[in-house]
Structure 1
Amino acid sequence: MEVRLIWGNYVSADLKKTAAFYTALGFKRNDNQQNDEFVSFIFGETSHFIINFFTEERLSKPVNGGLSIPVSSNEVIFSLSAESREEVDQWAEKVMQAGGTIFSEPQPYEQGYTFGFADPDGHKFNFLYWPGM
């Protein structure tokens, strides 16, 4: 047996704002139709990782995980790979232009280089350059 795809599911307070943010970052949409309950994006063409952003009504039901928008913490931070320190800096600029929040400025981290950001709903990510990866 093999896992072919991985999906992450988040709550979005405003699907149009979420769609505009991730589109501005250059991520490819995964949903092919207009839908009032979710938008979906592919993160990494070869990793087969998809993040769906659903309305709170859709994910608040216990059968769907009982999820909500984090207020003061996150359950997970997804790390997105970059090919160089310069690319990390370029992503930081792109995130700021798209309206994201930088919570950790670009900086060396052990042998790598990283920065952390939050999307309009406060979901946290970081971009990371790690030599040899």
Structure 2
Amino acid sequence: METRFIWANLVSGDLAKTAAFYSALGFKRNDHGDNQELVSFVFGQNNFIINFFTGQRLSQQMNGGLSIPKNANEIIFSLSANSKEEVEQWVEKVRSANGTLFSEPQNFEQGYTFGFADPDNHKFNVLYWPGM
């Protein structure tokens, strides 16, 4: 058995804020913009999709509680960059979109990285790694 696709489904506390944030970062919408329970974006060359649902809508599909992380990490998505300069460009984009930096830009082994959170505290790191 082979999996054809993988995507993520996360909770959003405010779909309008989520849509504005990821649009400001330049990600392409994967929905028609008229759904009141979902906003969806495409990430990267492999077209990885992250769907952001209202808590009420996503909880209908789950057997268990949902949460928006405030002081814990659920998962950290990694976004690759082509250079240190591109990492710094991401920092400015995230700041201008009112994202939260939880890790300032820094050297990491042979790479360069920083971490940010979206309005619901879903975490990402942007990483330049030579040869990747």
What TM-score, normalized to structure 2?
0.93
Q: Which residue of 1 aligns with 2:24?
A: 24
Q: Secondary structure at the match of 1:63?
A: coil
In 2, distance between residues paired with 1:105 and 1:9? Answer: 27
Shift >6 Å, 4+ stretches? none
Cα distance in 2 for partners of 1:64, 1:16 equals: 26
Shift in Å at residue 65 of structure 1? 5.7
Alignment partner, residue 110 of structure 1: 109
Q: Which runs of 5+ in 1 are unaligned?
A: none
1:126 alignment counterpart: 125
CA contact (8 A) 2:113 2:127 kept: yes
CA RMSD in angstroms, aligned pairs only: 1.5
Query: Could you tell me the percent identity over the aligned residues?
Result: 72
**Distance in 1 (alpha carbons) for counterparts of 2:17 and 2:2:** 35
C-alpha change, 1:112 and 1:66, in structure 2 (3 Å) is same
Contact 1:78 1:126 in 2 (8 A): yes
Contact 1:5 1:48 in 2 (8 A): no
Aligned counterpart, 1:70:
69
| 1:1-133 pair list within 5 angstroms | 1-44=1-44, 46-61=45-60, 63=62, 66-133=65-132
AA of the residue aligned to 2:35: N
Q: 2:103·2:116 contact (CA, 8 Å) conserved in 1?
A: yes
Cα distance in 1 for residues equivalent to 2:92 and 2:86 = 10
Residue-pair matches, total: 132
Runs (5+) with no aligned partner, structure 2: none
**What are the Cα deviations for residues 93-124 of structure 1, in whole angstroms up to 9, with x where unaligned?**
00000010001011100010000000011110
TM-score between the two structures when normalised by the length of structure 1: 0.93
